[in-house]
Structure 1
Amino acid sequence: MFKKIAIGAVAGLALFAGFVATRPDTFTVTRSATVPGSPDIAFGLVNDFHQWNQWSPWEGLDPDMKRTFGGAESGVGATYAWTGNDDVGQGQMTIEEASVNASIRVKLEFIKPFASTSITTFAFKPADTGTTVHWTMTGDHNFISKAMCLFMDMDQVVGKDFEKGLASLKTAAQAEATKRAEAEAKASVAAPTP
């Protein structure tokens, strides 16, 4: 009896492992939103890791999170490392490419709760009502992440965070656009007329 149960369990595990192995080797999560203002506003909020506290959906998950900024002040070579609770884990981001007001490529490396590396890209395109921001993350699945995705939908889980982040980016971009408009109005009033 025990032998039959053991053979059945091994066969079940083998079938499960075989099924997991057939799952996609890569993943892509993408969301987009139109934010107020010209592309330089949204680009500036993403290209400078010091600005991420205004819009990143993960910034508020651990009030005691430790942050370390390194490399360039912003743009290519800028780094942002964090260590926090179970909600945020530990990892680092590095800006690898930045095309002014057009696109940014970020290497995202998680250390905890499990090691993984992904590429995150942001694309900024002028729109009638501001700037359309496309936020995309791509990466590779190992066996464990393939198995996890049988029980949770990566697009839904990460996609919700992207949606929250883009909504906050919209608020931050609106604040910056308003600030600039007010500064321009004051400057035009203060400027002497010829």
Structure 2
Amino acid sequence: MKTLLKIIGIIIVLILIYAVIAVLAFSKDYHYEKSVVINAPQEKVWTYTGNLKGYNQWDPFSKADKNIVITYSGEGDKLGDSYHWKGDKNVGEGEQSITELIPNQKMATKLHFIEPFEGDAKANIVLTREGNGTRVTWMIDNELNSMMKIMKPMMDNNMDKMFGQGLDNLKKLAEK
């Protein structure tokens, strides 16, 4: 019994040490990006990446809840156009609006998360020619609070999974 209590005590101390190190050492600035090369011209890929309605055809975050409600403001393809989503506890609630458009090259958006936590982020989808195809780079930037710094390794793992899934979905759509 004493051995078990010592092991539990050591685990708790290690978790606390990790938490303190994470809060002090990890930057509050968070950047994640992932790329894929799609065997299609930029103009075709742009139909899915240069507007919010096209984006929601391959975005894995909105696919996590079959009953998600998405409401668009505007057509989704002009500066200032946005959409609001409300889903289950896995998807939460928030808004995404277009802040920059460079046709066939870049769509930048601002994300405002309402639930399960309040926060803001910036996202970019950048297209560049690569051989006969198109390289798509999907990026997100935000600030981490102390709790999010502690969870950063899990966030990186989740972002890798979700961005990978989304870019795979996009590749399948654009290569049809």
Q: Give the ranges of 4+ consecutive aligned residues of structure 1 lying more than 3 Å apart after TM superposition.
A: 12-19
Q: What is the CA distance between 1:124 and its match in structure 2?
A: 0.4
Task: Give the TM-score normalised by structure 2.
Answer: 0.83
Q: Verify the 8 A CA contact 1:28 1:155 in the aligned structure 2.
A: no
1:111 matched to 2:114? The reply is yes
* Correspondent of 1:80 among 83, 95, 99: 83
Q: What is the CA distance between 1:16 and its match in structure 2?
A: 4.7
CA distance in 2 between partners of 1:136 and 1:13 (Å): 31
Within a 5 Å distance, the mapping from 1:27-42 to structure 2 comes to 27-42=30-45
Match in the other structure for 2:52:
49
Instruction: Note the residue ranges of structure 1 that are not aligned, 5 or more in a row.
Output: 1-11, 176-194
Report the CA distance shift for 1:164/1:18 in structure 2 as closer, same or farther (over 3 A). Answer: closer
* Letter in structure 2 aligned against 1:148: M
CA distance in 2 between partners of 1:79 and 1:143 (Å): 29
CA distance in 1 between partners of 2:41 and 2:23 (Å): 45
Match in the other structure for 1:169:
170
* Correspondent of 2:139 among 106, 112, 136: 136
Give me the identity figure in percent: 26
Task: Give the TM-score normalised by structure 1.
Answer: 0.76
Q: What is the CA distance between 1:93 and its match in structure 2?
A: 0.5
Instruction: Note the residue ranges of structure 2 that are not aligned, 5 or more in a row.
Output: 1-14
Considering only CA atoms, is the larger Rg found in Structure 1 or Structure 2? 1
Match in the other structure for 1:160:
161
Q: Verify the 8 A CA contact 2:75 2:81 in the aligned structure 1.
A: yes
1:120 matched to 2:123? The reply is yes
Report the CA distance shift for 1:127/1:65 in structure 2 as closer, same or farther (over 3 A). Answer: same
* More moved, 99-108 vs 39-48: 39-48
Paired residues, number: 163
Match in the other structure for 2:151:
148
Match in the other structure for 1:22:
25
CA distance in 1 between partners of 2:33 and 2:67 (Å): 29
